Amino acid sequence: MTLLALSAAALDRSFFEWVWFFLDRYWLQFLTGAGVTLLISLSGTLVGFGIGLLVGVVRTIPKDPRAPLFRRILRRLGDFLLVTYIEVFRGTPMIVQAMVIFYGLALAFSINLDRLLAGFLIVSINTGAYMAEIVRGGILSIDKGQSEAAHSIGMTHGQTMLHVVLPQAVRNILPALGNEFVINIKDTSVLNVISVSELFFASKSISGNFARYFEVFLITCVVYFLMTFTVTRILRLVERKMEGKSTYTIHGSQTTPESEIRIRGGL
């Protein structure tokens, strides 16, 4: 069917018929677009979270004024670079970052990134900058006594972070992580400026063919909402799971009836 024939037939369609038409005919494009959106936002959020954890941990290493000079200089330099990274990526719009990174790399180094990969990189780096500050806040929110106790039994800074502080900090920042994921699902739409075929880009292509923007983007709207809503529900579940059980079993109560009686007597 030619485009002309399509638009001729289009004239007498009602609103619902249009919606149905797009759903029926372009469901695969919507779905693929949504898939790309989810893929980029999920992987970007996770990798960004990883970057945030790393940066957050490095930034909270206690400063030792007695360390050798070159180590202190290294530390200062590292801190400076990390703060620069955080400030620059938090302080500029992702849509601009996408343009600068994608076209900049192509122009300056003749690197033609795959658009999907470029999108993933941009979301990751951007999320990392936000997560770094969230993680730092999460680490600082954990009582100092926790790390003092870990240090007092001989744990290093890394061990203290890995086994004691981060498990608690991560639980506290989980809502913020979920928030970041939801924001990313929506904000990947800006990647259409570098032609990443995510949901917004797909919708634009579909609607452009027929100049029917309202119907198409209403569908797009619903798809975005379904994705974010599902994600928030799942995260709520994960949070509840991480709270742990509210009860515990008395040790020995399930081994022998004898011990159970003893314990009951004891209580």
Partner 1 sequence: MADAQFLEIRHLRKRFGDNEVLRDIDFTVRKGEVVCIIGASGSGKSTLLRCVNLLERPTEGEIWHDGRNILDGSVPIATYRAHVGMVFQQFNLFNNLNVLENCVIGQMKVLKRSRAEATETAMRYLEKVGMGQFIHARPSQISGGQKQRVAIARALSMEPEALLFDEPTSALDPEMVGEVLKVMRDLAHTGLTMLVVTHEMAFAAEVADRVVFMDEGVIVEDDVPSVIFGAPKQERTRTFLKRVLR
Give the binding site for partner 1 (CB under 8 A): 66, 143, 145-146, 148-156, 159, 163-164, 167-168, 171, 244, 248-252, 263, 266
C-beta of 28 vs 153, nearer to partner 1: 153
63: left (phi over 0), alpha (psi -120 to 50) or beta: beta
Q: Measured on CA atoms in the order 121, 207, 186, 229, is the torsion positive or negative?
A: negative
236 vs 264, which CB is nearer to partner 1? Answer: 264
Least Å distance between CB 61 and partner 1?
14
Q: Which is nearer to partner 1, 109 or 248 (CB)?
A: 248
Minimum distance between the CB of residue 138 and partner 1, rounded to whole angstroms?
13
Residue with smaller CB distance to partner 1, 17 or 148:
148
Report in angstroms how near the CB of residue 87 gets to partner 1 at its nearest: 30
- Tokens 């909402």 -> residue: 225
Q: Least distance from C-beta 149 to partner 1, angstroms?
A: 4
Q: Which is nearer to partner 1, 244 or 257 (CB)?
A: 244
What letter does residue 24 receive in the DSSP assignment? Answer: H
Tell me how far, at minimum, the Cβ of 163 lies from partner 1, in Å: 6
DSSP at 68: -
DSSP structural state of residue 63: P
CB 219, CB 22: distance < 8 Å: yes
Residue 173: CB minimum distance to partner 1, A: 14
Smaller CB separation from partner 1, 91 or 145: 145
Give one word for 110, left, alpha or beta, with left for phi > 0 and alpha for psi -120 to 50: left
* Residue number, 83 or 242, with CB nearest to partner 1: 242
CB of 249 to partner 1, least distance (A): 5
Both tokens of residue 88?
């620059």
Per the rule left: phi > 0, alpha: psi between -120 and 50, beta: everything else, 162 is alpha
Whole-angstrom Cα distance, residue 79 to residue 131? 16
Render the burial of 28-60: b for 16+ CB within 10 Å, e for the rest: ebbeebbebbbebbbebbebbbebbbebbbebb
Shortest gap between Cβ of 127 and partner 1 (angstroms)?
25
Residue closer to partner 1 (CB basis): 167 or 208: 167
Q: How many residues does the chain have?
A: 267
Q: What angle do CA 199, 201, 202 make, to 5 degrees?
A: 65
